[in-house]
Amino acid sequence: AALALLCGSAAAVVVWKWLGKRQIQKKMEEARRTRDEGVKKMEGAGNPSFWGVPSVQTDAILSLTLLELTGRLQEGSLSPKTVLCTYLEKASAFPQLTQQTNCLRHFIPECEEQLQEIRWQREKGLLYGIPVSIKDHISHKGHLSTCGLVQCLDTPVQEDSVLVKVLKRQGAIPFAMTNVPQSLFNYDCSNPIFGQTLNPLNHQKSPGGSSGGEGALIAGGGSILGIGSDIGGSIRLPSSFCGLCGLKPTAERLSVWHTRVLNMDVCSCPTPVPCALGPMARDVDSLALCMKALLCQEMFQLDPTVPPIPFDEEVYSSSAPLRVGYYDTDGYFPLPPCMRRAVWETRGALQAAGHQLVPFSPPRIHYVMTELFLKTFFADGGRTWLDAFTGGIVDPRLKPQVNCCKIPRLVKKLLALILRPLQFFLLLKFKNVATISTCRSVKEMWNHHHQIEVYRTEFIARWRELQLDVVLCPVLGPAFTAGYPGKLLTAISSTMLYNVLNFPAGVVPVSTVTEADEEELRLYRGCCDDPWDRTLKQVRKRKVAEQRLLLDAREELCLRFMKEVETLSREK
């Protein structure tokens, strides 16, 4: 009888687990079906007859820059209907963009309502009639903010995020939500619900993450302006991988109200390394126009925590010479030779243009990466992050990190004790969250916050000692082969530094990979010629993407410097 009871219990557990998995699969299938139906609606909406407008020269409209397009819309030589129709067609009806890159997460059918709404606005906003794409977790009323997680598939958002409200007030038309990596904690772009997003420039490559869907859609020509988010490089890395311009503002400069991370509102989970929302586009002027549009009274009224500081056009338009700090490596993760070459070529061009270049070395990057950045997100041993996967499926790209977080604390302590003699080597090269220390008490957490402030003070003191205006440095790139970013988590040291500092930072493409770069990469040994250096070499064997630079200062000055670099690189 006891054996029968035991067998019955075991069978019940198996059935219960099977039913749970089946329920998860149904939820995921329903989400995919809804997405696919949305894309079909999008295809229909991309047909000029749907809007009752005559056939247009699609290529002519798609070739316009954002500044040119806004000019044509403001003067009335193009209608918002025609422009929206053009971008809907490009985003949905071109198989090489939607089917092969899988960048769209959902079509926003309310774009038709917004199109009617802007007709009755008293004044044409700065983004009047501009179709805009937004990242999955930026809330839009009536739609899901999934973060690629099954537990987020049940409840549509009840209210637009502040940023979406301001975009609409400025006449923009949000028309699509784009794909993200599961939990946003990856600079690849894959989740088990909507699948892997690929780079439109080379379908073997990743578009970067976590704003990878945005990067792919804009680089593929399906959007002229997108809004991403950045907490470790999530705007800058997709911009780098996809050949775009991207800006991570200071976290407080644009509102993050009603933006969700791990099924929580960003504002409900404050962190010393905050999330920032920012624009992505094909040129720097587009970023500047977007920031100018967003930094308006509507933003300041809807979110009183945003400093009421309008965009400073005088700083952006200035031509005064700059004092520029520069470095080609942070000493933590050695970037491939082509990225360092880009820094030196740009340094020469800036110097020839009359700017003053000063060598600069960011302090203690190993300490910042392990003790400040990663410890912020795994202060509780990763428990909050692991909870996000409850009742769902973990994406294969994240399984190594998830499994490391699941190691019991006692086992981690024993491993730390055994590996203590190798502490320096681990600090230098070990790429695994299992080695990250945690905060075991509230006092330790407060001390951790204090150490971040101490580092910021140290960095600013060095900056001021050299009297710098901006800093020029490399960013991770060109694009990695899809699947490899998860194997090189801490390769993001070049971007995460400016999240810890909460400085504005931007990316602008400056060059392309040359045959000489390929040859130098063949001989590349990195720092220690260890498995991580060899992995980086494998990631980059094919010639795909452009190189980009990371530029840091306050937003207007950062954009002004990016514009200078963009102009010089185009002249070259």
Marked catalytic residue, from 81, 135, 168, 429: 135
The answer to whether 184 is annotated as binding is yes
- Kindly name the residue from 211, 234, 286, 511 that is annotated as catalytic: 234
Give the contacts of 529 (CB within 8 A, at least 6 positions apart): none
Q: Which of 133, 139, 210, 223 is catalytic?
A: 210
* Residue 441 known to be catalytic: no
| 322 assigned binding-site residue | no
Q: Which residue blocks in 394-436 are alpha helix, DSSP H?
A: 399-406, 409-418, 423-429
Cα separation of 288 and 332, whole Å?
32
Q: Is the dihedral of CA 449, 454, 455, 456 positive or negative?
A: positive
List helix spans (H) across 419-511: 423-429, 442-465, 493-500
Q: Are 96 and 28 in contact (CB under 8 A)?
A: no
Reply yes or no on whether 537 is catalytic. Answer: no
Rg (CA), the chain: 24
Between CA 237 and CA 475 the distance in angstroms is 8
**Annotated binding residue at 232?**
yes
β-sheet with 173-178: strand ranges across: 104-107, 173-178, 131-135, 225-230, 276-281, 245-248, 505-512, 546-552, 470-474, 323-326, 356-359
> Cα–Cα distances in Å, from 545 out to 205, 239, 462, 496?
9, 11, 34, 21
Reported as type and span, the H/E element at residue 93 is: helix 80-93
Note if 437 is an active site residue.
no
Q: Is 234 annotated as a binding residue?
A: yes
H or E segment to which residue 471 belongs: strand 470-474
- How far apart (Å, rounded) are the C-alpha atoms in residues 412 and 417? 9
Q: CB within 8 A of 134, min separation 6: which ones?
A: 140, 164, 174, 176, 177, 178, 214, 226, 227
CB of 88 closer than 8 Å to CB of 41:
no
> What are the binding residues for substrate?
184, 210, 231-234
Residues designated catalytic: 135, 210, 234
Which residue ranges make up the annotated binding site? 184, 210, 231-234
